[in-house]
Amino acid sequence: MKKEIQNFEELESFLKQHNYTYPKTWKTKLKKIKRKDRNSSTWKDIRMCMYAAERTLRCLTAISDDMASTLEKFDKKLERIGTEKYHKLLSKNSLTRSDMGKILKEIMNPNRAKRFQQVIKKGGKSYFQRNLTSKAIKAEKMLGIKIPRLIKLPQKKETIFQIIEDEYYWTGRYIYLGKRVEDKDSKNIFRKEAQEYFKSVCTYINQSKYNKDFFISYSEEMNEIWELYWKFYLTVR
């Protein structure tokens, strides 16, 4: 398999190793290319970091939002039936208040460090799967509440669009590539940028370079998230 030269530094190293030289008149032009290549490489790293962070947070938010919605259903139902009827229903279904507390905890607070184990893929899409106990299923029927078994997670393209809708992205693009911030307002350029970003993520995000230490070094604010949810990220990446 032929090895592809990825940047100017690799080309320059190759020429030196094989005792090749190039005309002095090329030097000025090549310095510009070299600087441009470094900027492009830095921008690629930044985009991978933005994607990794956004992907993780968006997927976690989708799970949290569904959990909050499910809890709200429970609260409204219990408020509607009243305490006396609730206790009768518990007795009738061989459940206790302690059981219900455990059930709510099961639904609302699955082990965060092990959430990655509940991510599945179905039809090319990612989902968070709830694994309900028999008592949780019994409580669901008792209260007439539907607890979603699958929580749909955002698709990669949705993550990309969320990122490039932010002004911060286009400012970074201007700083490193010299391209206009105003391009954000062009539907055609916006769409092409999203397509190119998506393609870049698919090509590079799985490279060993983009590991936990790399992302931590990029943003200390995400340290806690990476330490707790790194395996989750690898699953939804």
Taking only the tens place, the pLDDT of each residue in 183-217 is 999 999 999 999 999 999 999 999 999 999 999 98
**What mean pLDDT, rounded, does the chain reach?**
85
Taking only the tens place, the pLDDT of each residue in 55-66 is 999 999 999 899
Confidence of residue 140 (pLDDT cuts 50, 70, 90): confident
Greater confidence (170 vs 35) lies with 170
Integer distance in angstroms from the first to the last C-alpha of the chain? 28
Domain ranges of the chain: 45-236
Assess contact for 127 and 120: CB atoms under 8 A.
Answer: yes
By 3-state DSSP, what share of the chain in percent is helix, strand and coil, each rounded to 5? 75, 5, 20
Q: In what order do the strands lie in the sheet with 150-152?
A: 119-122, 125-129, 150-152
Greater confidence (199 vs 30) lies with 199
pTM for this entry: 0.76
Assess contact for 215 and 45: CB atoms under 8 A.
Answer: no
Strand locations in 48-168 (E): 119-122, 125-129, 150-152
DSSP string, 63-75: HHHHHHHHHHHHH
Return left, alpha or beta for 38; rule: phi > 0 is left, psi -120 to 50 is alpha, else beta: alpha
Give the residue from 152, 145, 113, 117 showing the smallest Cα distance to 131. Answer: 117
- pLDDT score at 16: 72
Q: Determine the Cα–Cα distance for residues 229 and 235; give it in Å rounded to an integer.
A: 10
Q: Determine the Cα–Cα distance for residues 133 and 148; give it in Å rounded to an integer.
A: 14
Tokens of 208: 């060993």
- Neighbouring residues of 104: CB distance < 8 A, sequence distance ≥ 6: 71, 74
